[in-house]
């Protein structure tokens, strides 16, 4: 659901509201969502930290504070809302930040899978998640040779390997299917069996799909919207994902759905024939 394009879309919206604001305090209603440090330290350290910059790293949203980086991971359904202290807390709003303009910035997640971390600036590259993340899709070091090396010991299906954030970061279940469709690669193909052309196509189509999705403001499927009243439009561009039993836009073959590594996977049996 939130993959790189949705994460970027959300980060850009937060930028407009949060840059220059100071966090006065934070209330935590579901401790498991605070991944690091422990909840009490988290609450204590974040007081009076000013928000200077907002970026993304993989699927993480990264807020640069005075002394820390504040990281959010939306997992499947994490979202943010701006409210005032008079607005009653919705049961899905689990972490509430009070800002110096007295607005409240609330992190909500129906599934409670979202994560927040507060990491000392000097430690950011010494600990997870940053030590585990692979290349961003637009990194010039993302080459066929890089993938050849990473894929060489992988007998897993390429569909599963595209979701491995330690190789290319930012791809999730939706865009993985779309990238493989455009690359004409069967999702069950073992990563180590891919050709040089396959790897080049994957890189080219990753950038193509993500750029287009960012331009469209992300994808809205099921109940996922990035924020109140904010709806991405990329779902209109999907070729295979969530199109089971519908005709392929290229060859009219019926799109099929299978399970790969436990994940719903959609593809065109003709355009993405097993080799």
Partner DNA sequence: AGTGCGACCCGAACGC
Partner DNA sequence: TGCGTTCGGGTCGCAC
Give catalytic residues, as residue numbers.
2-3, 59, 263
Footprint of DNA on 231-270 (CB under 7 A): 259, 261-264
Cα–Cα distance list, 146 to 135, 139, 191, 200 (Å): 10, 11, 13, 11
Q: Cα dist. 151→11, 125, 148, 181 in Å?
A: 31, 24, 5, 19
**Could you say whether residue 223 binds DNA (CB under 7 A)?**
yes
CB of 100 to DNA, least distance (A): 31
Q: How far is the CB of 223 from DNA (least distance, A)?
A: 5
Among 112, 184, 200, 249, binds DNA (CB under 7 A): 112
CA distance 182 to 210: 12
Which among 238, 231, 168, 171 has a CA at the least distance from the CA of 5? 171
CA angle 233, 237, 238 (to 5 degrees): 110
- Cβ proximity of 213 and 230 under 8 Å: no
Q: Which of 143, 165, 235, 237 binds DNA (CB under 7 A)?
A: 165
Provide the mask over 43-62, with x wherever binding to DNA is found by CB under 7 A and - wherever it is not: ---------------xx---
CB of 88 to DNA, least distance (A): 17
The C-alpha angle with vertex 206 and arms to 126 and 16, in degrees rounded to 5, equals 65
- 53/40 Cα distance (integer angstroms): 25
> Binding of DNA at residue 89 (CB under 7 A)?
no
Q: Which of 3, 93, 178, 201 binds DNA (CB under 7 A)?
A: 3
- Binding track over 25-44 against DNA, x by CB under 7 A: -------x------------
Q: Which of 76, 59, 66, 79 is nearest to 20 (CA)?
A: 66
Selected binder of DNA within 50, 154, 200, 249 (CB under 7 A): 154
Three-state DSSP at 60 gives strand
Q: Tell me whether residue 2 or residue 49 sits nearer to DNA (CB atom).
A: 2
| CB 124, min distance to DNA, A | 14
Residues that bind DNA (CB under 7 A): 1-3, 32, 58-59, 73, 75-76, 110-113, 128-129, 132, 153-156, 160, 163, 165, 172-174, 222-223, 259, 261-264
């Amino acid at each position: 659901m939130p993959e790189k394009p949705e994460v970027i879309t959300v980060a850009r919206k937060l930028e407009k509201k949060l840059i220059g604001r100071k966090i006065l305090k934070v209330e935590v209603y579901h401790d498991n969502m605070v991944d690091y440090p422990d909840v009490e330290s988290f609450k204590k350290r974040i007081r009076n930290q000013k928000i200077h910059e907002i970026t993304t790293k993989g699927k993480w949203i990264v807020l640069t504070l005075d002394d820390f980086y504040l990281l959010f991971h939306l997992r499947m359904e994490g979202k943010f809302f701006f409210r005032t202290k008079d607005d009653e807390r919705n049961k899905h709003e689990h972490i509430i930040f009070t800002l110096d303009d007295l607005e409240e910035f609330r992190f909500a997640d129906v599934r409670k899978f979202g994560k927040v971390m507060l990491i000392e600036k000097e430690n950011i590259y010494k600990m997870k998640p940053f030590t585990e993340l692979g290349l961003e899709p637009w990194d010039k070091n993302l080459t066929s040779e890089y993938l050849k090396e990473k894929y060489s010991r992988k007998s897993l299906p390429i569909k599963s390997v595209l979701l491995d954030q330690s190789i290319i970061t930012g791809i999730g279940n939706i865009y993985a299917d779309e990238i493989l469709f455009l690359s004409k690669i069967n999702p069950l193909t073992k990563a180590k069996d891919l050709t040089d052309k396959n790897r080049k196509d994957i890189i080219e189509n990753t950038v193509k799909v993500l750029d287009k999705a960012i331009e469209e403001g992300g994808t809205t499927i099921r109940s996922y919207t990035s924020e109140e009243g904010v709806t991405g439009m990329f779902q209109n561009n999907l070729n295979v994902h969530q199109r089971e039993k519908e005709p392929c836009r290229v060859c009219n073959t019926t799109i099929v759905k299978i399970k790969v590594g436990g994940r719903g996977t959609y593809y065109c049996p003709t355009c993405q024939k097993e080799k």
